[in-house]
Structure 1
Amino acid sequence: MNLSRTIAKKILKGFNKHFRIFTEITSGAQARFESADWKADRLASRHRIEFYDSRVKETVNYLKENYDTRPETFDQDCWKKVKGHFILLLQNHQQPELAETFFNSVFCRIFPIEFYTNLNIFLRSSVATEYIDSEVPTYEAYYPANTSFFRAIKLILNHSPLSIPFENCHRDCRHMAKSICKYMKNDNRNADLNFQFQVINALFYRNKAAYIVGKAINGHNEYPFAIPLLNNEKGGIYTDALLIGEDSVSRLFSFSYAYFMVEHPVPSAIVSFLQRLMPQRKKEALYSSIGLHKQGKTDFYRGFLHHLDYSDDDLILAPGIPGMVMSVFTLASYPYVFKLIRDYFAPPKEISRQQVEEKYQLVKRHDRVGRMADTLEFSEVLLPLNRFTEDLLKDLESTCKSSIQVVENHKGVKQLKIKHMYIERRMQPLNMALEEAERKGQFDEIERLILSFGDAIKELCAANIFPGDLLYKNFGVTRLRRVVFYDYDEIVYLTDCNFRKIPAPRNSQELMAAEPWYSVGPNDVFPEEFARFLLGNDYIKAAFMKYHADLLDANFWIQKQENIKNGIFEDVFPYPQKYRLQREVSDQ
C-alpha cells in the first residue's frame, strides 16, 4: 500500500478509536443519571478529558516506531500526500472536523513549529459540516396545532430515552404550559400558523441534571429554551425549571461550567443548532461545552489568526493589578487574555512552575460549577512581534524570558514564539468592578457583586475547591454579571485544608505581639482573618455581612468538609432559584 495512504489510515484509525471511547463514556451518562451515581459521573467526566491525549500518544508512538519521523529528514512531498489521502478518507465521515484536529495533534507532537503550515496540517478546515447525513436526526419538531398545546409539551418531556418515570408528569406539563404562556404573553404574542417546538434529539447531562434543549418558533420569532430534569433519588424524575430566552440558556453553556455529556454521531449538527439558539456563543465555545475541547481549541486558534489578519491594534498588558505568578496580556479588540507563567515568583509565593501547571490541570479536570473559568492551553505559538507594545515586551523579557523567543518566518517577518501559555475569556476584575460601582454611586451593584462573590466561594466549596487567595483581584465579572474565579496558583482541595478558629490570647503580651501567639501549620486557614483584607470598604462590608457572614466562621468550612467526606454532593444550580418550579410536599 502507498506509504502516505498507510500513514493517513493509521491516523484516522487512532481518531476513530478515540471517538468510540469518548462515545462509550458519554453514553454511560444516562445510566449514571438514572442511578444517581454522582461520584461515578464526576469520575467519568475527568477520564473523558484525559483520553484524547492518550490516543494521540498511541498514534504518535506507532508512527515513530514504524516510520522515519525525524525532523531533519522531513519529507514534504510525503506529508503533503498524507494530508491529501486523509481528506479523501473523510468524505463520508460523520466527525470530519474532529478527525482533522486529531491529525493536527499527531503531526504537531512529532514535528517542530516550522512545519506547521497548511500544506502539512489543517490550519483551515477542508470539509463542510453543514449537511452531514446521520441515522439520528439532529432534532424533532412538535406542532401544537396538530396535537394540542398540552399534548405537545407532554411529548417533549417524554421524548427522552430515560427509563425512569416522572414523579408527576401532569403537574410538570401544567407548569411548563403556564410558564410558556406567561412568557409569550409578556412578549405580546399569540400562536401563529407556524408555531412549533424543535428539540435536540439528545439529552445534555451534567452534574445532577439532564437537560432538554430546544427552541419555540412563533412567526418570525425564536425562543431558545432548556428544561432541567432532576432525579428525586426515589425512582423518579421531575422538571426543576423552564429556562427561556438566549441569556438564560446561554448561561448553561458558559465557559465556567464543566462539559456536558451529549451522545450524537454528528457533533457539528448539535453545535450548529446550538449556535442558532445562542448567536453570541462562538462555535469554539459550543464545541468545548459538549466535551470536545480540543476542537474548541482548534476553532479558537483559527478564529484568532483570522482576527489578527483583519485588525491592527496592539497586544497590551491586561488591565488590573499584575499577578505575581502570571504575566497577562490582551488584545483590546478580542475578548480573551493570554497568560504566561513567570520565570520566578517573588516572596511570599512558594510554588514551582510545575505546581502551577498542575493547578491548571486540576481545574480543567474538575467540576467548575460555573465559578471557575475554563482555559485553553497552547504550546509553540507564533505571534507577530510588531503587535506587542514596548511595555508588554519589556515585561515578558524581564519576567518570562525562558518562555519566549524572537524568530523569523520564511518571509523574514519577525515573530514572538511563545513556548507555553494559557488563554481565558477576558473579564472585568472584581476589584475594578467594585471600584467603578462605588465611583458611580451604584451601591445596589456593589451588593449584587458581593452576593455573587460569596455565592461563588460557597459553590466552589460544594465542589471541594478552596480558592486559596480570596482577594477580589483574583475574581472576574462575566458579561452576565456573574462572579467567576480565575487565578489558580493557590487553589487546593477543600478537604486538604485545616480550618481553625484563632485561639484567644492568654495575656496582654500575646495580644500585643507582632507575630501570632499560636502555632500555624502549612494547611491551616483562619476564616476570621478574611475580614481583614476583604471588608475594608463600608459598602462592601455591609453587603458581605448581610449575605455571607458565615464565611468568617470556621464551623461553616468544617461542615462543608464533613459533607464531602460523607459523600454528600450539594446541589449547585446553573440558574437562579426564582426559575425553579414548585413541587408538592408529597412528591419530595
Structure 2
Amino acid sequence: MNPISHTFGAYWQDFLHLTGKASLCFAEADWQGLQQLSRARFERHDDIVGQLVASLNGSLLDWPALKTDFVESLKDHPARELALTFFNSVYARLQPGMPRPFNGRELAKVATRPYLRLPMQGNLTDVMQRVLESASLPLPIRYLANQATKLAQALKPALNPHDYPLHLDLLTEPFYRNKGCYLVGCLNTDQMAVPFAIAFLQKDGALKVDALLLQRDHLSVLFGFARSDFLSLSPAPSAQIAFLETLMPHKPHSELYNALGYYKHGKTLLVTELEDALARKGRFITAPGIPGLVMMVFTLEGQDLVFKVIRDQFGDSKKVTPQQVVERYHLVQRHDRVGRMADTQEFIDLRLPLAHFDQAPLQELLATCAGRARIEGDMLHLSHCFTERRMTPMNLALKERSGECKAILREYGHALKDIATAGIFPGDMLFKNFGVTRHGRVIFYDYDELCPLGDVTFRAIPKSEYEQDMLSAEPWYPVNEGDVFPEEFRHFLCARQDAAEVLGQEFAELFTPDFWLKAQENAKKGQLEDFFPYPQALRFPG
C-alpha cells in the first residue's frame, strides 16, 4: 500500500475521532477538554507528517508513481482535498524547494449534500421546533416548545410577509467551541435567503437557546479569524465549506477551512488565493502603519493579508530573541484567541515573484531581514515568515475615523479585558499593535512581547517617602525582571483626551494591579470565562 495514503487514512480517522469527542465534552461541561481536543487536532498533522517523513527519509522514492497511486487510491475519499494537502506536506519536507505537487485547484466539490432540507410547512414555531428536533444535539432542550417559540419570534421580523416560504436547509451536526454549541442553516423563500445560527448554552445538563444570529456579518464574526477553530463532524469537508460559503460569500475559502480546524488545507488555499491575486497584477508594498522593531511587514495590494518577517536585529528597547518571537506566535496559534487575537499561518521556504515587489519593501527586506530573505533568480525566497489577516492599525483608525474614536477605544478596552481573561498578557499595549476590522472590532496582532499571565508579576507602585523621588527619571523602588506596574499604563494609553475619558474612566480597573492579579488567579485555576461571539443585545433573556 502507498505509505502516504495509508498514513493519511489513519490521520483522518484520528481527526474524526478527536472531533467526535466534542459532543461528550460539551454534554459534561468539560470546557478544558474541548480546548485540549482543539490543540490536539492542531498538532496532530505535523506530528504524523514528521513521523512519516522520518520513516521515508533516505528511501529512493518514485514520486510520479507515488502521486498517481495516491490520487487513484483516494479518489472517492470524503476528505480528498485534505489528502492532497497531506501529500504536499510530506513532499515539501523530503523535496525542499520543489514546486508543490497539488495546488488546491484540482478538486471538484463533493456532490454530497451536507444539510437536511426541511419543508416550510406550518407556522414558524412548528418549523423551528422541527429544526431543534432534527439536529444531532448533545443534550435535550428543556422547554423545547417554548424555545421554538422564542426562535420564531426572533426570526419573524427578518422575513417579508409577502414572500413565499420554500424550505429550510440545516447542517444537523453542531459546531462546538468554548462553552457554546451552534446550529447553522439557511431559510429560503422565493425572494430571499436568510442565513442563521442558533447559539446554545449548557445549563444544568440541558440545552438553553441563548441567541439567534441572522445577519451575515454576525455569522462572519462567529467564524472569524480571531477565534479558535470549531469542532464539527462533517460527511465531507468540501461540501460543508461550500454550504458555509453560501452564507458568508465574502469570506475566503482558506479562512473557512481554518475555522473548522483544517489549518493545513487552509494554508494551501491561502497560497492559491495569493497566486490568483498575483495574476491580477497585484504588487507587494510596505504595510501601512508604524514600522515594527521586530518584524518587517508588507502586504499585497488587493489582498487582505500581511507578511511578517523577523528582522536580523531588533531595536534596543526589545529584550527578546528571534526564537522567543517564534515561540510566542506558536503560543497564539494553539491558544484560545477569544475573538481578540489574529490567527497566523507560518511559512517555511516561501517564494514570491520579484517582479511584483515595489522597491521600498524589497530593499528593506534585503537590508534588515537578510537572514530570512534572499533573491534566487526571479524570486524572493523567504526562509521563514508569518501571515496574518490585514486590518487597519488602530493608531491610523483613530486618525482617519474621527467620528468613531470613542467606539474604537471602547473596543480596545474590551479587547484588553478579554485577552487578560484568556490568561494572556499582551506586553506591548500601544495602539499601533492592534488592528480594527471592517466590523469595527479591535484585534491584537503583534505578539513579540506577549506571554502567559503567570509569567508576570503585577505590582503597585510603592509610595515615595521623599517628594524629590517623584521628579526622578529613574524609579525609586526596585524593579525585577517580569515586574509590571499597571498604574503606568495610564501614561501612554490615556494621552489623548478621548482615551482619558473612555479608558481612564470606563476601564479604570485596567490600571490597577487588582484586575490583573484576579485574571492571573483565574487563569491559574484553569477557569474558563464566558466569551460570546455575538452582541449582547442578541441574547435571549433568562
TM-score normalised by the shorter chain: which range applies?
Answer: over 0.9
CA contact (8 A) 2:81 2:104 kept: no
CA contact (8 A) 1:501 1:526 kept: yes
The answer to whether the aligner puts 1:143 opposite 2:119 as a matched pair is: yes
For structure 2, the residue ranges without an aligned partner over 5 or more in a row are none
Partner of 1:51: 44
Partner of 1:82: 66
Residues 1:515 and 1:291: Cα distance change in structure 2 (over 3 Å): same
CA contact (8 A) 1:18 1:55 kept: yes
What is the rounded CA distance, in whole Å, between the counterparts of 1:291 and 1:274 in structure 2?
A: 14
3-state DSSP class of the match of 2:304? Answer: strand
The answer to whether the aligner puts 1:92 opposite 2:76 as a matched pair is: yes
Partner of 1:126: 106
TM-superposed deviation, 1:159: 2.5
Partner of 1:175: 150
Residues 1:472 and 1:502: Cα distance change in structure 2 (over 3 Å): same
CA contact (8 A) 2:137 2:173 kept: no
CA contact (8 A) 1:434 1:446 kept: yes
Range with greater deviation from structure 2 (480-489 or 90-99) = 90-99
Residues 1:163 and 1:331: Cα distance change in structure 2 (over 3 Å): closer
What is the rounded CA distance, in whole Å, between the counterparts of 2:457 and 2:133 in structure 1?
A: 47
3-state DSSP class of the match of 2:328? Answer: helix
The answer to whether the aligner puts 1:526 opposite 2:501 as a matched pair is: no
The answer to whether the aligner puts 1:380 opposite 2:352 as a matched pair is: no
TM-superposed deviation, 1:564: 2.4
Which of residues 399, 402, 417 is equivalent to 2:381?
417
Partner of 1:73: none
What is the rounded CA distance, in whole Å, between the counterparts of 2:252 and 2:497 in structure 1?
A: 40
What is the rounded CA distance, in whole Å, between the counterparts of 1:324 and 1:552 in structure 2?
A: 26
CA contact (8 A) 1:340 1:421 kept: yes
What is the rounded CA distance, in whole Å, between the counterparts of 1:400 and 1:357 in structure 2?
A: 15
Deviations 1:23-73 (A, max 9, x none): 1111000000000011111122111100000111122122225x226xxxx
The answer to whether the aligner puts 1:156 opposite 2:131 as a matched pair is: yes
TM-superposed deviation, 1:124: 4.7
Partner of 2:362: 393
Which of residues 257, 270, 279 is equivalent to 2:227?
257
What is the rounded CA distance, in whole Å, between the counterparts of 2:519 and 2:348 in structure 1?
A: 38
TM-superposed deviation, 1:392: 1.3
Corresponding pairs, count: 542
The answer to whether the aligner puts 1:102 opposite 2:86 as a matched pair is: yes
CA contact (8 A) 2:310 2:369 kept: yes
In angstroms, what is the RMSD of aligned CA positions? 1.5
TM-superposed deviation, 1:191: 4.5
3-state DSSP class of the match of 1:241? Answer: strand
Partner of 2:267: 297
3-state DSSP class of the match of 1:502? Answer: coil
The answer to whether the aligner puts 1:369 opposite 2:333 as a matched pair is: no
What is the rounded CA distance, in whole Å, between the counterparts of 1:474 and 1:189 in structure 2?
A: 47
TM-superposed deviation, 1:189: 3.6
The answer to whether the aligner puts 1:284 opposite 2:284 as a matched pair is: no
Partner of 1:75: none
TM-superposed deviation, 1:437: 2.4
What is the rounded CA distance, in whole Å, between the counterparts of 1:180 and 1:539 in structure 2?
A: 38
Partner of 1:211: 182
TM-superposed deviation, 1:172: 1.5
CA contact (8 A) 1:498 1:525 kept: yes
The answer to whether the aligner puts 1:432 opposite 2:432 as a matched pair is: no
Deviations 1:99-152 (A, max 9, x none): 000000000000121x215xxx11254331231x4xxx511122232x442122
What is the rounded CA distance, in whole Å, between the counterparts of 1:126 and 1:308 in structure 2?
A: 19
Partner of 2:35: 42
CA contact (8 A) 2:341 2:445 kept: yes
CA contact (8 A) 2:140 2:206 kept: yes
Range with greater deviation from structure 2 (219-228 or 482-491) = 219-228
3-state DSSP class of the match of 1:334? Answer: coil
After superposition, residues 505-584 of structure 1 pair within 5 angstroms as 505-583=464-542
TM-superposed deviation, 1:214: 0.5
Which of residues 192, 195, 198 is equivalent to 2:164?
192
What is the rounded CA distance, in whole Å, between the counterparts of 1:140 and 1:279 in structure 2?
A: 21
TM-superposed deviation, 1:350: 1.1
Residues 1:366 and 1:500: Cα distance change in structure 2 (over 3 Å): same
Under a length normalisation based on structure 1, what TM-score does the superposition of the two structures give? 0.90
What is the rounded CA distance, in whole Å, between the counterparts of 2:440 and 2:154 in structure 1?
A: 25
CA contact (8 A) 1:100 1:125 kept: no
What is the rounded CA distance, in whole Å, between the counterparts of 1:328 and 1:482 in structure 2?
A: 21
The answer to whether the aligner puts 1:268 opposite 2:238 as a matched pair is: yes
Deviations 1:172-231 (A, max 9, x none): 1121011011222xxx4435042x221112100000011000111111311111011101
What is the rounded CA distance, in whole Å, between the counterparts of 1:124 and 1:248 in structure 2?
A: 28
CA contact (8 A) 1:34 1:162 kept: no
What is the rounded CA distance, in whole Å, between the counterparts of 1:250 and 1:46 in structure 2?
A: 23
For structure 1, the residue ranges without an aligned partner over 5 or more in a row are 1-5, 70-77, 409-413, 584-588
TM-superposed deviation, 1:299: 0.7
3-state DSSP class of the match of 2:470? Answer: helix
What is the rounded CA distance, in whole Å, between the counterparts of 2:200 and 2:469 in structure 1?
A: 56
3-state DSSP class of the match of 1:240? Answer: strand
CA contact (8 A) 1:17 1:55 kept: no
What is the rounded CA distance, in whole Å, between the counterparts of 2:123 and 2:363 in structure 1?
A: 67
3-state DSSP class of the match of 2:379? Answer: strand
Partner of 2:322: 353
One-letter amino acid of the counterpart of residue 435, structure 1: K
Partner of 1:28: 21
Range with greater deviation from structure 2 (456-465 or 510-519) = 510-519
TM-superposed deviation, 1:344: 1.3
Give the fraction of aligned pairs with identical amino acids, expressed as a percent. Answer: 38
Partner of 2:99: 116
What is the rounded CA distance, in whole Å, between the counterparts of 1:95 and 1:164 in structure 2?
A: 28
Q: Where does structure 1 differ by over 4 angstroms across 4 or more consecutive aligned residues?
A: none
TM-superposed deviation, 1:163: 4.5
TM-superposed deviation, 1:464: 0.5
One-letter amino acid of the counterpart of residue 328, structure 2: K
